[in-house]
Amino acid sequence: MNHYDVPRGIDVLRVFCGPDGRHGNTLGVVRDGSSHPDEASRRRLARQLGFSETVFVDDPERGRVDIHTPGLRLPFAGHPLVGAAWLLDLEILELPVGDVFARQDGEFTWITARPEWAPPRMLQQYATAAEVEALPGPPPGEGRLYAWAWEDEAAGRVRARAFPRRGEGIVEDEATGAAAMLLSARLGRALNIAQGRGSQILTAPAPDGTVEVGGRVLMAARG
């Protein structure tokens, strides 16, 4: 199934698009979560769509959403929540781990969340951005890997690539908000991250331990 051959009732977004409006991580949003009421049917649809994540909207007014990869349910994920916040135009999204606050700022949609909600992953620093660019695919090993290097440390500019290594057929994530949030929390500073082929993710840590993650969202298709 390609990005534009989607069942009725499903919107396809591109989240964390670059300044030119290209790239971004593709996201499926099921506006009526009751059409897939149980976890098994949601997982089947997520596999059918083949995106790194699919969001099921269980309550569009309260912002209650459920996030699935092709193989598992996630308690939190960055690009699905930025996309859902943009699509639903809400200030709060309800997750089992807690409330995620959202805001719109011009062309950017932002969410505020706690880094400890993000699934764990290895944040592996490389010496140069060129080394990150040159990676032919996932380095050997298991578990989520976020490969990153400074493009301009003084300006907070980072080059990154993300490899899920979950055995779900997703070799590389084009843009990964949760990983960006974890990196920003570890470094303790705002970041401007270029990930994948040309996606852009912005972050800003706050004194209370939360991190804001933001980017551009565009509608790719409406089923």
Band the pLDDT of 159: cuts 50, 70, 90.
very high
Closest CA to 137 of 165, 95, 103: 165
- pLDDT for 4: 57
Q: Is the dihedral of CA 126, 132, 134, 138 positive or negative?
A: positive
- pLDDT for 88: 96
Mean pLDDT of all residues in 9-21: 96
Report all structural domains of the chain as residue ranges with CATH numbers, in order of start: 10-98 (3.10.310.10), 117-214 (3.10.310.10)
pLDDT tens sequence across 160-180: 999 999 888 889 999 999 999
Indicate whether 137 pLDDT > 70: yes
Looking at the chain, the whole-number percentage of residues with pLDDT higher than 90 is 89
Q: Kindly state the DSSP code that residue 173 receives in the 8-state scheme.
A: B
β-strand pairing of 122-125 with 108-113: unpaired
Q: How many angstroms separate the CA atoms of 222 and 8, rounded? A: 8
- pLDDT for 38: 95
The H-or-E segment that residue 11 falls in is strand 10-17
Report the chain's mean pLDDT, rounded to a whole number: 95
The answer to whether the beta carbons of residues 184 and 190 sit under 8 Å apart is yes
Global pTM value: 0.95
Looking at the chain, the whole-number percentage of residues with pLDDT higher than 70 is 98
As given in the structure block, the two tokens for residue 133 are 């660019």
Q: How many angstroms separate the CA atoms of 223 and 220, rounded? A: 10
3-state secondary structure (DSSP) of residue 41: helix
